[in-house]
């Protein structure tokens, strides 16, 4: 998704804006947040959320076993 945006005129304009002037820093921070792993749209899908919940339960059970 981000790679497609980078190739568009809008993506290039955002990049140039992030590298210049007083607006550059906030735009740069937003662009970095959008590229971060935690901001991926796929993670909001029910299948992914269910998988993540299951993995958290498995990890919690494992950690409880290790601490005893």
Distance (Å) of CA 39 to CA 62, 63, 66: 27, 27, 32
Is residue 1 pLDDT above 60, yes or no? no
Express each pLDDT in 35-68 by its tens digit.
Answer: 666 667 777 889 999 999 999 999 999 999 987 6
Better-scored residue on pLDDT, 61 or 17: 61
pTM: 0.43
Which residues, 6 or more positions from 5, have their beta carbon under 8 angstroms from its beta carbon? Answer: 11, 14
16-30 mean pLDDT: 77
Cβ atoms 32, 45 nearer than 8 A = no
Better-scored residue on pLDDT, 56 or 17: 56
């Amino acid at each position: 998704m981000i790679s497609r945006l980078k190739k568009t005129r809008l993506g290039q304009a955002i990049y140039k804006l992030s590298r210049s002037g007083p607006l550059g820093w906030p735009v740069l921070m937003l662009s970095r947040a959008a590229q971060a792993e935690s901001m991926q749209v796929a993670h909001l899908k029910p299948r992914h959320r269910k998988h993540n919940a299951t993995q958290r339960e498995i990890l919690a059970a494992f950690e409880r076993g290790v601490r005893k």
